[in-house]
Amino acid sequence: MGAFKVNRRNMLLGTGASLASLAIGANAQAPVPPTPSPAAPDPNSPPPTADQIRRMQWWHVAKFGMFIHFGVYSQYGRHEWAMETQAIPMQDYLQLAKEFNPKPHSARAWAKLAKAAGMKYMVMTTKHHEGFCNWDSKLTDYCAAKQGPGRDLVREYVDAARAEGLRVGFYYSLMDWHHPDGALCAHDEEARKRFVEYTHGLIRELLTNYGKIDVLWYDVSWPLDAKGWESERMSKMVFELQPDIIVNNRNKLPGDFSTPEQKIVAEAGGRAWESCMTLNDSWGYQRADDNWKTSRTIIRNLITCVRDGGNYLLNIGPRGDGSIPEESVRVLTEVGQWMDTNGETIYKSDLCQPRRANYASFTRTGNTLYMHVHFWPGEDVAISGLTAKVKSAYFLKSKQPVKFTQDNFRVHITGLPTHAPDSPITTIALECDSEPKQNTDYVRINKPRTV
């Protein structure tokens, strides 16, 4: 180690950290890591309008929602696409619709679980690709009130979500494998007109009969385009009925937010986005699918979403009787326990630039960086290339301070327990003097290669 020299950078880094942090010797003259410049705005993605900002406000704070896939396919238990991927004859599927009879108010348990997990909104399939309407529709007999359930499942869901103080979302599949015009509409203008009127009519029912609805979540627009669906006219009706609603982008219009599926990819230019994901590999109940994600994976995904400014919509697929698979309950309960003490790092998160680590991920609120350690290495952890000065560091859960040193290349946190203090992820808060950013290129280029 070379002679200790005090320069402005050393002074800066030393304050608040232990004196050992000043002993950076040979590195003392190294340039201060430059703060990385923000990404340029994307000209293809216009910034949100004032009305979008107003309608989207609650959703940006909510961060975490529950997706529920529930329908006749839940009764069958082989994934929500079974009707098509097994080419089930119509008479057999209609029989399933007669047998489908969930226990009354099953949705109460879904809503309680969502709340316990720290979720703030729910989005349930009102009609999936199978074409079955989960409500009491005047426009079709193929609906819950007139088939097996004998009652309005959408009503039960809406009441259950509201009872837990959760926002209410409706998923709606434009594609329809049951309606006689559902495929014919692609090349028969009379069929298209009938099917578009049916579709607009169903959406009108959903947005008229259940009070204030917070999210309309369209899915699969096959076989028509925006012109074919008359999406602009549909949209006008939607906002006339529900002026505060937010809508996704799956009706071939941009809508208010994008919907990356089974992956986490941020949108450019500040456009809102929500990653939707399954807990195993199926949206609708699939009895044999045991490929469950762990609570650690779910929390890491949630962290990644909010770090990059997105929301996380996580699915459950209840059985036909309305019960939630035990594995989903277990994982979401663990997630909720973690959220009880770490939730503030999620709900209050700002865009967070630091991301390079092999055993941790990061979120940020103002000048505080949260280091979420998912693979606890024991004794010490380090962050490379942090450009802000750390003023104090502590375990988020216990508020117990942790020892650290900082030089031009890293923040080194020492004296940690051998085993992770929290499960499944331990969060260390680092209060900085400015917005925490990371520049690992600086480290690669400048860290001395000789001792």
Which residue, 282 or 353, is less far from ligand GLC as judged by CB?
282
Which residue, 17 or 276, is less far from ligand GLC as judged by CB?
276
Give CA–CA dist 348/241, Å, rounded.
31
Shortest Cβ 315–ligand GLC spacing (Å): 7
Q: How far is residue 77 from each of residues 87, 226, 298, 329, measured CA to CA in Å?
A: 15, 33, 23, 18
261 forms part of the interface with ligand GLC (CB under 6 A): yes
Rg (CA), the chain: 26
Give CA–CA dist 283/130, Å, rounded.
14
Q: Which of 75, 80, 245, 360 binds ligand GLC (CB under 6 A)?
A: 80
For residue 188, give the 3-state DSSP assignment.
coil
252 forms part of the interface with ligand GLC (CB under 6 A): no
Q: Please, what is the end-to-end C-alpha distance for the chain in angstroms?
A: 7
Give CA–CA dist 242/248, Å, rounded.
14
Site string for ligand GLC, 39-78 (x = CB under 6 A): ------------------------------x---------
Cis peptide bond prior to 424, omega within 30° of 0: yes
Which residue, 123 or 357, is less far from ligand GLC as judged by CB?
123
Which residue, 13 or 298, is less far from ligand GLC as judged by CB?
298
Which residue, 154 or 276, is less far from ligand GLC as judged by CB?
276
Which residue, 121 or 442, is less far from ligand GLC as judged by CB?
121
Closest CA to 426 of 384, 370, 388: 370
Which residue, 278 or 427, is less far from ligand GLC as judged by CB?
278
* Sheet arrangement for strand 426-432: 360-365, 368-373, 426-432, 390-395
Shortest Cβ 69–ligand GLC spacing (Å): 6
Which residue, 314 or 428, is less far from ligand GLC as judged by CB?
314
Which residue, 33 or 320, is less far from ligand GLC as judged by CB?
320
Give CA–CA dist 312/303, Å, rounded.
9
Buried b (16+ CB within 10 A) or exposed e, 22-61: bbbeebbebeebebbeeeeeeeeeeebeeebeebbeebee
Site size with ligand GLC, rule: CB under 6 A: 8
Give CA–CA dist 224/106, Å, rounded.
35
Q: How far is residue 113 from each of residues 229, 330, 331, measured CA to CA in Å?
A: 36, 10, 10
Shortest Cβ 250–ligand GLC spacing (Å): 8
230 forms part of the interface with ligand GLC (CB under 6 A): no
219 forms part of the interface with ligand GLC (CB under 6 A): yes
Shortest Cβ 11–ligand GLC spacing (Å): 53
Give CA–CA dist 269/282, Å, rounded.
32
Shortest Cβ 128–ligand GLC spacing (Å): 6
Shortest Cβ 282–ligand GLC spacing (Å): 9
Site for ligand GLC in 263-322 (CB under 6 A): 276, 283
Shortest Cβ 173–ligand GLC spacing (Å): 7
Site for ligand GLC in 339-398 (CB under 6 A): none
Shortest Cβ 320–ligand GLC spacing (Å): 17
Distance of CA 360 to the CA centre of its chain: 19
Residue 438 and residue 383 in contact, taking contact as beta carbons nearer than 8 Å: yes
Shortest Cβ 219–ligand GLC spacing (Å): 5
220 forms part of the interface with ligand GLC (CB under 6 A): yes
Positions in the binding site for ligand GLC (CB under 6 A): 69, 80-81, 219-220, 261, 276, 283
